[in-house]
Amino acid sequence: MRTKVIIDGLKNTQRFRAIINGVIIGDNQVKDLLGNRFGHREQRIAIWKALANIAMANRIGETTTGYCAAVDGFAVQVDLL
């Protein structure tokens, strides 16, 4: 059975690198957001929001591969690989 798209605009196998408060969490895939890859639920949600912002920017015509901002109290940087 086919797995549904987790974030519209990104493939579930899209690789990304995330940095949360200066700690690198590298070699991730979008489908890792459903598991327990990240230490806390709040960190996973912050990365999810960052990836959603990248997907939204790409949908409206901007070509972006990264996002850096404070999300829910975490300093988050996400780069698509």
User: What percent of the chain stands above pLDDT 90?
Assistant: 64
The rounded mean pLDDT for the chain is: 90
Over range 5-34, report the average pLDDT: 91
What is the torsional sign of CA 15, 77, 44, 22? positive
The percent of the chain in helix, strand and coil, each rounded to the nearest 5, is 30, 30, 40
pLDDT in tens, 37-75: 887 889 999 999 999 999 999 999 888 889 999 998 999
Question: What pLDDT is recorded for position 37?
Answer: 80
pTM for this predicted structure? 0.90
